[in-house]
Amino acid sequence: MTALIAFGLYMVAVFALAIFANRVGKSKAFVSEYFLGSKSIGLWAFAFTYAATSASGGSFMGFPSLIYTHGWVLAWWIAGYMVVPIIALGLLAKRINQVGRIAGAITIPELLRRRYENRNVGNLATLLVVFFMFFYLMAQFKAGAQIMATLLDGVPIYETAVAGVDRLTSGIPWIGAADGDYLLCLLVFAVSVIAYTTFGGFRAVVWTDVMQGIVMGLGVVIMLVLALAQVGGIGKATRALGEMTPPHSVEVVVSRVEVSDEEIRLSRGEWLETAGERGVVRLKSAVLISAGSLKSEPAEALKLTTPAEIDNVLSGFDRTPGFIASIIGEPERYAYGDGQKGVYLTAPGPSRKDSGGFLGVMLALSFFAFWTFSGAGQPSYMVRQMAFRDTVTLRRSIVMVAVYFTLIYFPLVIIFTCARVLLPGMEVHPDRVMPEMAALLTSNAGMPWLAGLLIAAPFAAVMSSVDSFLLLVSSGIVRDVYQESINPKATEKQVKRLSYFVTIVVGVLGLLAVMHPPKFLQHLIVFASAGLGACFLMPMIFTLYWPRTTSRGIIGGMLAGGVTVLILYLIGFLITREFGEYLLLGLHPFVWAVLFSSIAIVGGSLSQEPVSETLRLRYFGISSEKTKR
């Protein structure tokens, strides 16, 4: 119930900000205000909108579950964030803002089109933004719905509503296959974000980002203090982790001690003692024992292998009395790290499927590059860099984001290594580790009301990403397609109506696309992120810093980057038959895409006449003679 109240208060604040933003923006030119906040975003707003958009659902759901599953090696996996603020904000921001203002551009495709005076460059950029960003939007819609469902699980009013949705949708093609809780949460989440983004535009998105950023930061700091206090210090947690060995996946038959006429359903996550040896298993799915029967059908479970963890569960966790689990068949062991003490303290970290471990050296290098440079290459961040007021704002924002990310990412590693000790067996549902940890820490501290604030953090993270992506796609369509190619003389009223309409339509299309939930959420996010970074990072760097770059080079660079990512994902799919990337020589596709994109830009540009002297002077302030010297 606390979660529901927290969520309600949070949504009230979001809508209040959107209404206020709409009123503030009324006196200003519509397009620049709606899509770019009139390029007047100040220090706090700029720093937090960047930080909050950057920290999506992955940071608060996926990342904690990875720390929990693989241990301290995640400190290395995320290490690139130490230089993300300086690279992602510093590398392009000053020049992109300057060139954007010279060009009078509102969007990234518009900036590229005007810089090269070539319509094809702008059209290709729009196409790539809409294509990859739509995958991103789908993934975040699904993540938002999942987080909301996790937060509201067990709230009576919500459970009744879910049952109603289940009844209404069963049998309907496409959406009938989805669970009622997912559909309900997706609908509420999507309608809320579409509404406040449409109504308030960029300024509302930025202001809500500030609030969401503060919620996230406070949540992490409070959790850190509570986790360290309750685990008895980080040293104690690390030593406990050093004794741990990865769990086994097993098949069990659950028996009850006495025959009963009652049908019994044991939920996912229930702890049971094992028959014979002293041990415990945790159910990975619900188990049913029919009336009059003593045994269940075989079911999947997680078997702990660390004696201290088994003692911890036997002495401190509720187990369903009168039931016992018998393990059948051979357990499924981790491909790397099985039975190996210390595996949670070191690289490459335990891995269930990969015999080389979770994080090899080449992959660690790839991620160091991926976090920093793919962040710099995202159009959703680039467009923010066109919106800050002056370079003083930029410089101070870089410092603020550097401190903010340090307070978020490294503490998350500490918090969720403590979670391994405090919450055993969360491998049955790793995505729930964040809300479960929040509930445990606040309840142990005698402050259950605080859980509402802590679990609002991941929700805030997803919301602040979705609103930005939504606006980016709609700005691409309104500004770069309609205003540029269809109706260049459109009145402000026409553009305003169309902007509202397109934002709603894009949001609704995203909603419809994920009503049948897509699989491989995390892969979808990484794919979209790598694709956008691959298409735009190097073309934008060359556009801003190399006057010799031409339209041919830029088109080649965007295509080479995007195609490299698509091909390496296609090879990955053909090899594994699952959506995922192919790591050529152990490196992430993004690294190869950056390389090929750079080669294509240089090759393409040198094969074409340089841009005119007028353009060179306009965007760089230097003549070709000076460049040659």
Partner 1 sequence: MQKPEELGKSFRQSKREFWVMVGIWTFFAIWTVVYNGFFADGGSAEDPEILFGMPKWVIIGVAVPWVLAVSTTIWFAMGFMKDTPLSNEEETE
Whichever of 8 and 342 has its CB closer to partner 1, that residue is 342
Closest Cα partner for 586 from 312, 250, 359?
359
Cis before 589 (ω within 30): no
Contact by Cβ (8 Å): 246, 305: yes
Q: How many residues bind partner 1 (CB under 8 A)?
A: 69
Hey, what are 515's tokens? 């009503």
**Residue 97 found at the interface with partner 1 (CB under 8 A):** yes
Closest separation in Å from C-beta 411 to partner 1: 11
Contact by Cβ (8 Å): 74, 64: no
Contact by Cβ (8 Å): 109, 129: yes
Interface pick for partner 1 out of 346, 522, 608, 624 (rule CB under 8 A):
346
DSSP states along 419-445:
HHHHSTTGGGSGGGHHHHHHHHHHHHT
Residue 252, class by beta-carbon neighbours within 10 Å (0-12 exposed, 13-18 middle, 19+ buried)?
buried
Whichever of 187 and 345 has its CB closer to partner 1, that residue is 345
Amino acid making up residue 614: T
The conformation of residue 446, written as its DSSP 8-state character, comes to T
Interface pick for partner 1 out of 117, 263, 311, 390 (rule CB under 8 A):
390
Contact by Cβ (8 Å): 96, 540: yes
**Residue 624 found at the interface with partner 1 (CB under 8 A):** no
Listed in sequence order, the DSSP H helices in 232-337 are 234-243, 307-316
Interface pick for partner 1 out of 217, 348, 561, 562 (rule CB under 8 A):
348
Interface pick for partner 1 out of 13, 16, 20, 95 (rule CB under 8 A):
95
**What is the C-alpha separation between 437 and 197, in angstroms, rounded?**
31
Interface pick for partner 1 out of 25, 37, 85, 200 (rule CB under 8 A):
85
Amino acid making up residue 419: A
Interface pick for partner 1 out of 107, 238, 442, 598 (rule CB under 8 A):
238
Closest separation in Å from C-beta 500 to partner 1: 17
**Residue 492 found at the interface with partner 1 (CB under 8 A):** yes
**Residue 399 found at the interface with partner 1 (CB under 8 A):** yes
Strand partners, 264: 289
Query: Which of these ranges, 26-34, 306-314, 455-463, 499-507, lies near partner 1 under the rule CB under 8 A?
Result: 26-34
Query: Which of these ranges, 178-186, 288-296, 385-393, 531-539, lies near partner 1 under the rule CB under 8 A?
Result: 385-393
Whichever of 238 and 296 has its CB closer to partner 1, that residue is 238
Closest separation in Å from C-beta 305 to partner 1: 16
Closest separation in Å from C-beta 469 to partner 1: 24
Whichever of 104 and 164 has its CB closer to partner 1, that residue is 104
**What is the C-alpha separation between 100 and 416, in angstroms, rounded?**
42
DSSP states along 588-628:
-HHHHHHHHHHHHHHHHHHTSPPPPHHHHHHHHS--HHHHH
Whichever of 13 and 82 has its CB closer to partner 1, that residue is 82
**Residue 44 found at the interface with partner 1 (CB under 8 A):** no
Closest Cα partner for 266 from 250, 246, 283?
283
**Residue 490 found at the interface with partner 1 (CB under 8 A):** no
Query: Which of these ranges, 188-196, 392-400, 565-573, 602-610, lies near partner 1 under the rule CB under 8 A?
Result: 392-400
Give the side-chain half-sphere CA count within 13 A for 128. Answer: 33
Interface pick for partner 1 out of 13, 365, 571, 595 (rule CB under 8 A):
365
Whichever of 343 and 554 has its CB closer to partner 1, that residue is 343
Query: Which of these ranges, 161-169, 174-182, 548-556, 613-621, lies near partner 1 under the rule CB under 8 A?
Result: 613-621
**Strand-by-strand arrangement of the 271-273 sheet:** 271-273, 280-283, 299-303, 248-256, 323-332
**Residue 86 found at the interface with partner 1 (CB under 8 A):** yes
Interface pick for partner 1 out of 260, 340, 608, 624 (rule CB under 8 A):
340
Closest Cα partner for 408 from 51, 112, 122?
51
Interface pick for partner 1 out of 5, 9, 19, 29 (rule CB under 8 A):
29
Listed in sequence order, the DSSP H helices in 423-517 are 433-444, 451-475, 492-513
From first CA to last CA, the distance across the chain in angstroms is 69
Cα distances from 297 to residues 261, 269, 300, 329, 449, in angstroms, run 17, 17, 10, 14, 40
Hey, what are 254's tokens? 């659950």
**Residue 339 found at the interface with partner 1 (CB under 8 A):** no
**Residue 612 found at the interface with partner 1 (CB under 8 A):** no
Whichever of 395 and 429 has its CB closer to partner 1, that residue is 395
Whichever of 38 and 605 has its CB closer to partner 1, that residue is 38
Whichever of 28 and 429 has its CB closer to partner 1, that residue is 28
Q: Which residues contact 587 (CB under 8 A, 6 or more apart)?
A: 362, 363, 365, 366
**Residue 286 found at the interface with partner 1 (CB under 8 A):** no
**What is the C-alpha separation between 99 and 105, in angstroms, rounded?**
8
Query: Which of these ranges, 77-85, 164-172, 291-299, 527-535, lies near partner 1 under the rule CB under 8 A?
Result: 77-85
Interface pick for partner 1 out of 2, 20, 24, 32 (rule CB under 8 A):
32
Site for partner 1 in 127-166 (CB under 8 A): none
Interface pick for partner 1 out of 4, 11, 83, 504 (rule CB under 8 A):
83
**Residue 103 found at the interface with partner 1 (CB under 8 A):** yes
Whichever of 490 and 571 has its CB closer to partner 1, that residue is 490
Alpha carbon of residue 161 to chain centroid: 28
Query: Which of these ranges, 52-60, 120-128, 357-365, 567-575, lies near partner 1 under the rule CB under 8 A?
Result: 357-365
Query: Which of these ranges, 86-94, 119-127, 204-212, 527-535, lies near partner 1 under the rule CB under 8 A?
Result: 86-94
DSSP states along 56-92:
-HIIIIIHHHHHHHHGGGHHHHTGGGGTHIIIIIHTT
Whichever of 30 and 131 has its CB closer to partner 1, that residue is 30
**Residue 91 found at the interface with partner 1 (CB under 8 A):** yes
Closest separation in Å from C-beta 180 to partner 1: 43
Burial 296-305 (b: 16+ CB within 10 A, else e): beebbbbbbb
Cα pseudo-dihedral 591, 595, 596, 598, rounded to 10: 130
Interface pick for partner 1 out of 19, 286, 575, 622 (rule CB under 8 A):
622
**Residue 102 found at the interface with partner 1 (CB under 8 A):** yes
Interface pick for partner 1 out of 398, 456, 521, 593 (rule CB under 8 A):
398
**Residues contributing to the site for partner 1 (CB under 8 A):** 29-32, 39, 72-73, 75-76, 79-80, 82-83, 85-87, 90-91, 94-95, 97-98, 101-104, 233-239, 242, 340-343, 345-348, 361, 364-365, 368-369, 372, 390-392, 394-396, 398-399, 402-403, 406, 410, 414, 492, 544-545, 617, 620-622, 626
